[in-house]
């Protein structure tokens, strides 16, 4: 009996070890499987992480590129607007320039026409004054009297004609006086103050053409009025203002 039991136990013992072995194997396999799953999960998470990280960088790059594109588009539109405005301003300036050029040409033509009209008018005036005994020289008309008067009477006659006794402003004008062969009162006097010679327009004498030793009115006679007494360059003499002489009027015209 005991053997049988032992046998039974033995038999019972054999399945028990096998079961233990089987259980151990299953446990080991489970552990291995668990570890494997854990490794797979870790790998998967790592891959997901890498993918997510790469995706974020790509999205960031795309965002920056998109922004740059938008900025460039905006700048291009602004430049296009500026270009259009500048083109418009250039066209307006060109139009203004063309108008000004046209006005300048018209103005220039008008100036030329006026210059011709001025020459014609001067010729007509010269003809008219020549008929009345006036002579034209360098912007002025001159008239020599045919009668004699005192210096003041002579001046009054000139003023009545719209002129005055001649004022000699230049050497050329003095040279011009030499063509008149007789003594003539001119518009020069020191009646206000002895020795302070003034022209009839109030200007002081600067350039003079006195005869040598003239003026001598301060010596023994009160000679306060000037005449051209000969045809030489230095031809001036002072004389008594009441002396009656021929005279020469000058009328300055802006021609
Ligand atoms: Ca003059
Ligand atoms: Ca004097
Ligand atoms: Ca004198």
Closest-approaching ligand to the CA atom of 215: 3
CA atoms of 17 and 184, how far apart (whole Å)? 172
Could you tell me the distance, in angstroms and rounded to a whole number, from the CA of residue 214 to the centre of ligand 3?
Answer: 5
Q: Which CATH number fits domain 135-252: 3.40.50.300, 3.90.480.10, 3.90.1150.10, 3.10.100.10?
A: 3.10.100.10
Per-residue pLDDT at 2 exceeds 50: no
- Mean per-residue pLDDT for 186-196? 96
Closest-approaching ligand to the CA atom of 239: 3
Could you tell me the distance, in angstroms and rounded to a whole number, from the CA of residue 187 to the centre of ligand 2?
Answer: 14
Closest-approaching ligand to the CA atom of 190: 2
pLDDT band at 17 (very low <50, low <70, confident <90, very high): low
Q: Are strands 164-165 and 246-252 parallel, antiparallel or unpaired?
A: antiparallel
Q: Which of 31-45, 65-79, 154-168 has the lowest mean pLDDT?
A: 31-45
Token pair of 23 as six digits: 């259980």
- Mean per-residue pLDDT for 18-33? 73
What pLDDT, in 10s, does the model give residues 98-133? 999 999 999 999 999 999 999 998 889 889 999 999
Could you tell me the distance, in angstroms and rounded to a whole number, from the CA of residue 208 to the centre of ligand 2?
Answer: 15
Could you tell me the distance, in angstroms and rounded to a whole number, from the CA of residue 237 to the centre of ligand 3?
Answer: 5
Per-residue pLDDT at 218 exceeds 90: no
What pLDDT, in 10s, does the model give residues 119-168? 998 889 889 999 999 999 998 999 999 999 999 999 999 999 999 999 99
Cα torsion at 177, 183, 185, 191 (round to 10°)?
120
Could you tell me the distance, in angstroms and rounded to a whole number, from the CA of residue 146 to the centre of ligand 3?
Answer: 23
Closest-approaching ligand to the CA atom of 137: 1
Which residue's entry shows tokens 């005869």? 211
Per-residue pLDDT at 64 exceeds 90: yes
Could you tell me the distance, in angstroms and rounded to a whole number, from the CA of residue 36 to the centre of ligand 1?
Answer: 130
CB-CB contact of 209 with 168 (8 Å): yes
Q: Which residues fall within 8 angstroms of residue 185, CB to CB, at 6 or more apart?
A: 149, 151, 154, 155, 165, 225, 226, 227, 245, 246, 247, 248
Could you tell me the distance, in angstroms and rounded to a whole number, from the CA of residue 125 to the centre of ligand 1?
Answer: 18
């Amino acid at each position: 009996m005991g053997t049988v039991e032992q046998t039974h136990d033995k038999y019972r013992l054999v399945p028990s070890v096998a079961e233990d072995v089987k259980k151990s194997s299953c446990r080991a396999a489970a552990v291995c499987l668990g570890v494997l799953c854990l490794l797979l999960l870790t790998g998967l998470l790592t891959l997901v992480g890498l993918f997510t990280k790469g995706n974020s960088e790509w999205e960031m790059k795309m965002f920056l590129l998109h922004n740059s594109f938008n900025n460039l588009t905006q700048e291009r539109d602004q430049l296009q607007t500026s270009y259009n405005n500048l083109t418009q301003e250039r066209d307006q300036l060109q139009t203004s320039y063309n108008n000004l050029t046209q006005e300048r040409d018209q103005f220039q033509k008008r100036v030329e026409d006026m210059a011709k009209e001025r020459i014609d008018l001067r010729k007509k005036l010269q003809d008219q004054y020549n008929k009345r005994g006036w002579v034209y020289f360098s912007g002025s008309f001159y008239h020599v009297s045919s009668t004699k008067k005192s210096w003041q009477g002579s001046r009054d006659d000139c003023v009545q004609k719209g002129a005055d006794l001649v004022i000699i402003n230049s050497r050329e004008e003095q040279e011009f006086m030499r063509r008149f062969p007789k003594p003539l009162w001119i518009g020069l006097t020191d009646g206000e103050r002895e020795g302070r010679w003034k022209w009839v327009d109030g200007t002081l004498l600067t350039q003079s053409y006195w005869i040598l030793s003239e003026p001598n009115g301060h010596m023994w006679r009160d000679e306060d009025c000037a005449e051209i007494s000969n045809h030489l360059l230095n031809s001036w003499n002072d004389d008594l203002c009441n002396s009656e002489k021929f005279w020469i009027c000058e009328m300055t015209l802006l021609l």
